Amino acid sequence: SQELEQSPQSLIVQEGKNLTINCTSSKTLYGLYWYKQKYGEGLIFLMMLQKGGEEKSHEKITAKLDEKKQQSSLHITASQPSHAGIYLCGADKPGGSEKLVFGKGTKLTVNP
């Protein structure tokens, strides 16, 4: 079965700093999804990457998919306290699948 490993597990940064979170798959990635979750709340969809080399940006968050490395990275520029939360990557199986597999998450703390 496919496994997703996220690194780092947790990250503490000073406001204004840039940061990167990685998600590495044990198998070929056909679709990679980034979600953000605040404690005790639901998951907020951030971005979907479906092609090797694809890069998407939303406000100060950029995500890339490196198909060859079976890896995706999430980069936050000039972090703000509002970026704090748990970032989860998710992936599905080739051909589409009802089952979304998640990484264990990266907890981000942004100190003012």
Partner 1 sequence: DTEVTQTPKHLVMGMTNKKSLKCEQHMGHRAMYWYKQKAKKPPELMFVYSYEKLSINESVPSRFSPECPNSSLLNLHLHALQPEDSALYLCASSQEAGTQPQHFGDGTRLSIL
Name the residues that contact partner 1, by CB under 8 A: 31, 33, 35, 40-45, 48, 88, 92, 95-100, 102-105
What is the closest distance, in whole angstroms, from the C-beta atom of residue 78 to partner 1 in the complex? 26
What is the closest distance, in whole angstroms, from the C-beta atom of residue 98 to partner 1 in the complex? 4
Note if the bond before 94 is cis, omega within 30 degrees.
Answer: no
* Exposure on the CB side of residue 93, measured as CA atoms within 13 A: 5
Nearer to partner 1, 39 or 68 (CB): 39
Nearer to partner 1, 17 or 50 (CB): 50
Nearer to partner 1, 13 or 43 (CB): 43
Task: Report how far Cα 30 is from the mean position of its chain's Cα atoms.
Answer: 15
